Structure 1
Amino acid sequence: MQLKVRPAEDCHYDLVSLGEVMLRLDPGEGRIRTTRQFRAWEGGGEYNVARGLRKCFGMRTGVVTAFADNDVGRLVEDFILQGGVDTSLIRWVKYDGIGRTVRNGLNFTERGFGLRGAVGCSDRGLTAASQLKPEDIDWEHLFGKLGVRWLHTGGIFASLSATTPETVVAAVECAKKHGTIVSYDLNYRPSLWEGIGGKNKAQEVNRAIAKSVDVMIGNEEDFTACLGLEVEGVDENLGNIDVENFKRMIEKAVAEFPNFVATATTLREVHTATVNDWSAIVWYDGKFYESRSYPKLEIMDRVGGGDSFASGLIYGLLTTGDGQKAVDYGAAHGALAMTTPGDTSMATVKEVEKLMGGGGARVVR
């Protein structure tokens, strides 16, 4: 079974993402606990996909999210505008002056180096996005009148509060009603699920949403924690990964969720924070496709690598319908995204296709 994508001319958007966008504050090469300055970026697991598809691949994208209407929210909006993602779907919530009832999310991020791993320290309680409810968005207008070819959302947004899973379900159900493809990145974050029921709640929510997903994305920890599907032969540090074990896990997933048309997984073995083995596999239309491998890939900033994989994968599926090209676009885009700072990709489609074709790092003049 192949994906049946709506024609571009019938839709206002190629892709819309649903999720929270935070202000990322980065101490650069230093530590959060000792820095005297931060570099500001925007970022969010679901949004990063829309941004990558727009900025690298030139597709028409928008983001459904919410901000407290203050200068921090407007700063993040400015970043989104710079990334070319449509902001007309953002819900603005009146700010109370000090954040008693509504705030904007902050994400402090250390890149890591060598034996010191990357660290994320989020400050996202009571955020406007976490308080989104199904009725806050006119889904019929978005999917029915405007038209969307692809909806992307994920487990980060679904884990933010009691209402965000309901909001995901409302969006997914309306999207499916109007023929929109739905992708979902499990993106398991223990710190987010811990406050609302832990792994049991994560599995309850994600397994319910999974029944309506066309393209499921996640790594080994995601599939285990969120869907209860074990990967054989993976140690507690998620090392020594065998591709065949992944294939068996994905076969279990598509047997349990026959609605999955495609399932994608990145394969990362961490030697140090700055040296990883990187590749990906995709199951699509009944076949497995493996990307080119990127052994000993040198990492500048690993945060957002999986999101850039997802945007490359979606681009490949939207434009070619070819599983091999899709996984190659995803793996190459994710690899390039991790060579630059920030959550989002700075790559061009020309650079992605050069890397897919075996191009190296020789100077370009």
Structure 2
Amino acid sequence: MKSIVAFGEMMMRLSPPGHLRFFQANEFEVSYSGAEFNTLASLQRWGLSTQFVTKLPDNDFGNKAISEISRYQVGSDHIVQGGNRLGIYFLEKGSAIRHSKVIYDRAESAVAQIEKDDIDWTKVFSNASWFHWSGITPGISAEAARECLKACKIARKMGLKISCDLNYRSTLWKWGKQPNEVLPEILGITNVILGDLATLFKMLGKKEIKPDYKKPETLKVFYDEILNSCPHLEFLPTTLRYSESASHQKIGGIMYASGKLITSEVKEILPVVDRLGTGDAFMAGIIYGLHKNLDYPEILDFSVATSAYKHTMTGDINIASLEEIYAIMKGDLSALIKR
């Protein structure tokens, strides 16, 4: 089985216990994650072969991160060690009317300092069929942006499918260029892009738009314009989130594929345990569905169910089984104990 490869940053997550605020915390719970790795962990859980490519410091924290990657059975054959440090992010979990808060401490991380000869992408892709990246990585540094573009160009040349989760982070892009100066070239050779239309227009340097997802018939003109800018694009899914509060969310999805617009049912989650990683779970659902040649409505329903179910788990990584996800798709929302 050929592998799904992803490139990105692995980070340490530090969270106050429960729903304590940063100001109240005397200790932090530690876990390790990263947008691209989170997606691979789901795919590996569902029986697909995966490889994560990153750069980690050659110290105890870097070694612990590699241990966590192995824990989820994701391949680490092409991970490079070196650089200064591991990126960190702090998460304060929201509740009810109080939103969650994230503080990043990732400047000069190992992957931000990746060197041009660190990764042999031809070797990485020699037994791969798919390459996944996210909009986070090019925003970290000029070096990470260069490497992401390089990887995509080689993946395209070698015939791999390429997917992207836009994952726009306004706190990134401090290295001198804006997204619309970097991303159009990479998005232009990508086959699957997960993101909302307004953000994608912004990343492509286009005019500001306000799409109304409640009126799908008005969206085609926007999709057509994106396809003109991204000639290799085949699938454009979007997560639709309706936030009643930090503890009460509704999740749906919409996808443009083969000139058709597909919509899903909306799943309600109350209470939310942990919202982090739910978009990564959605992305994993899209990649899995395309790998298994599911029909388009089933791909979207599977992705929505996966994302919804991830809201019930602590941590960034979705550990739901296929059986659990298909039960949610079939409407099994009972609270009965499984014995």
TM-score range, shorter chain: over 0.9
- Counterpart of 1:261 (choices 208, 224, 234) is 234
1:266-285 aligned at under 5 Å gives the runs 266-285=239-258
- Counterpart of 1:218 (choices 195, 213, 220) is 195
3-state SS of paired residue (1:306): helix
1:87 aligns with 2:76: yes
Code of the residue aligned with 2:141 in structure 1: it is S
- Judged with a 3 Å threshold, the aligned counterparts in structure 2 of structure 1 residues 295 and 75 are, in CA distance, closer, same or farther, namely same
- Counterpart of 2:183 (choices 206, 209, 219) is 206
Q: CA deviation at 1:256?
A: 2.7
2:8: which partner in 1? 19
- Judged with a 3 Å threshold, the aligned counterparts in structure 2 of structure 1 residues 172 and 26 are, in CA distance, closer, same or farther, namely same
Code of the residue aligned with 1:22 in structure 2: it is M
2:282: which partner in 1? 309
d(CA) in 2 for partners of 1:222, 1:89: 32
Would you say the 8 A contact 2:269–2:308 is kept in 1? no
1:97: which partner in 2? none
CA deviation map 1:91-132 (0-9, x unaligned): 0116xxxxxxx1111111122111111111111111111112
1:67: which partner in 2? 56
d(CA) in 2 for partners of 1:294, 1:186: 22
Would you say the 8 A contact 1:114–1:273 is kept in 2? yes
Q: CA deviation at 1:22?
A: 0.1
2:137: which partner in 1? 157
Q: CA deviation at 1:242?
A: 5.0
CA deviation map 1:196-232 (0-9, x unaligned): 347xx11111111111100011135532432245442
- Judged with a 3 Å threshold, the aligned counterparts in structure 2 of structure 1 residues 140 and 222 are, in CA distance, closer, same or farther, namely same
CA deviation map 1:146-179 (0-9, x unaligned): x111110011011000111110111111111111
- Counterpart of 1:118 (choices 100, 104, 110) is 100
2:124: which partner in 1? 142
Q: Which moved more, 1:57-66 or 1:281-290?
A: 281-290
d(CA) in 1 for partners of 2:220, 2:164: 19
Q: CA deviation at 1:88?
A: 1.5
- Judged with a 3 Å threshold, the aligned counterparts in structure 2 of structure 1 residues 107 and 245 are, in CA distance, closer, same or farther, namely farther
Give the unaligned 5+ runs of structure 2: none
- Counterpart of 1:324 (choices 287, 292, 297) is 297
1:250: which partner in 2? 223
Would you say the 8 A contact 1:188–1:225 is kept in 2? no
Would you say the 8 A contact 2:237–2:254 is kept in 1? yes
- Name the count of aligned residue pairs: 336
d(CA) in 1 for partners of 2:315, 2:324: 18
- Counterpart of 2:19 (choices 29, 46, 61) is 29
- % identical equivalent positions: 31
Would you say the 8 A contact 1:231–1:245 is kept in 2? no
2:156: which partner in 1? 176
Q: Runs of 4+ in structure 1 displaced over 2 angstroms? A: 219-222, 227-234, 240-252, 295-298
- Counterpart of 1:127 (choices 98, 102, 109) is 109
d(CA) in 2 for partners of 1:245, 1:116: 34
Q: Which moved more, 1:293-302 or 1:204-213?
A: 293-302
Q: CA deviation at 1:186?
A: 1.1
d(CA) in 1 for partners of 2:131, 2:294: 17
Q: Which moved more, 1:217-226 or 1:125-134?
A: 217-226
- Judged with a 3 Å threshold, the aligned counterparts in structure 2 of structure 1 residues 250 and 197 are, in CA distance, closer, same or farther, namely farther
1:196 aligns with 2:186: no
Q: CA deviation at 1:244?
A: 4.7
Would you say the 8 A contact 2:189–2:231 is kept in 1? no
1:41-52 aligned at under 5 Å gives the runs 41-52=31-42
3-state SS of paired residue (1:33): helix
d(CA) in 1 for partners of 2:21, 2:200: 31
- TM-score, length-scaled by structure 1: 0.87
Code of the residue aligned with 1:63 in structure 2: it is F
- Counterpart of 1:54 (choices 23, 27, 44) is 44
Q: CA deviation at 1:252?
A: 2.5
Q: CA deviation at 1:270?
A: 1.4
d(CA) in 1 for partners of 2:235, 2:31: 31
Q: Which has the higher contact order (CA 8 A, sep 6+)?
A: 1
Code of the residue aligned with 2:222 in structure 1: it is M
Would you say the 8 A contact 1:187–1:222 is kept in 2? no
1:167 aligns with 2:159: no
Q: CA deviation at 1:282?
A: 1.2
Would you say the 8 A contact 1:134–1:171 is kept in 2? no
Code of the residue aligned with 1:39 in structure 2: it is E
Would you say the 8 A contact 1:188–1:221 is kept in 2? no
Q: CA deviation at 1:290?
A: 1.4
- Counterpart of 1:299 (choices 267, 272, 293) is 272
Give the unaligned 5+ runs of structure 1: 1-7, 95-101, 235-239
